[in-house]
Amino acid sequence: MSETDSFIEEVTEEVRRDRLFALMRRYGWIAVLAVLLLVGGTAYREYMRAAEASRAQAFGDAVLAALESDDAAERVAAMSAIEAPTPAATAVLDMLIAAEQSLQGEGAEAAERLNQTATNGELPEIYRQIASFKALTRPENPMTADERRVAFEAMAAPGAPLRLLAEEQLALLDIAAGNVDAATDRLTAILSDVEVTPGLRRRASQLIVALGGELEAS
**DSSP annotation string for the chain:** --HHHHHHHHHHHHHHHHHHHHHHHHHHHHHHHHHHHHHHHHHHHHHHHHHHHHHHHHHHHHHHHHHT-S-HHHHHHHHHT---SSHHHHHHHHHHHHHHHHHTT-HHHHHHHHHHHHT-TTS-HHHHHHHHHHHHT-TT----HHHHHHHHHHHTSTT-TTHHHHHHHHHHHHHHTT-HHHHHHHHHHHHT-TT--HHHHHHHHHHHHHTT--PPP-
Whole domain around residue 19: which residue ranges? 1-68
> What's the pLDDT band for 203 if we cut at 50, 70, 90?
very high
pLDDT digits (tens, 9 = 90+) for 52-87: 777 778 878 888 888 888 887 888 888 888 888 888
From 130, 143, 48, 50, select the one nearest 88 (Cα to Cα). 130
Phi, psi (deg, nearest 5) at residue 199: -65, -45
What CA–CA distances, in Å, run from 100 to 80, 111, 155? 11, 12, 25
Q: Which pLDDT value is given to residue 7?
A: 45
183 occurs within a structural domain: no
Give me the pLDDT at residue 212, please: 87
pLDDT digits (tens, 9 = 90+) for 38-56: 766 676 577 567 667 777 7
Structure confidence at residue 213 as a pLDDT band (50, 70, 90): confident
pLDDT of amino acid 140: 77
Inter-CA distances, 9 with 17, 19, 51, 139, Å: 12, 15, 58, 93
Is 27 part of a structural domain of the chain? yes
pLDDT band at 186 (very low <50, low <70, confident <90, very high): very high
Cβ atoms < 10 Å from Cβ of 190: 24
Structural domain includes residue 22: yes
The model carries a pTM of: 0.65
Give residue 189's pLDDT. 93
Would 9 be classed as within a structural domain? yes
Q: What is the pLDDT of residue 47?
A: 58
> How many structural domains comprise the chain?
1
Q: Is position 126 within any domain? A: no
Q: What is the pLDDT of residues 129-146, one digit of tens each?
A: 989 998 888 887 788 889
Q: Does 108 fall in a domain?
A: no
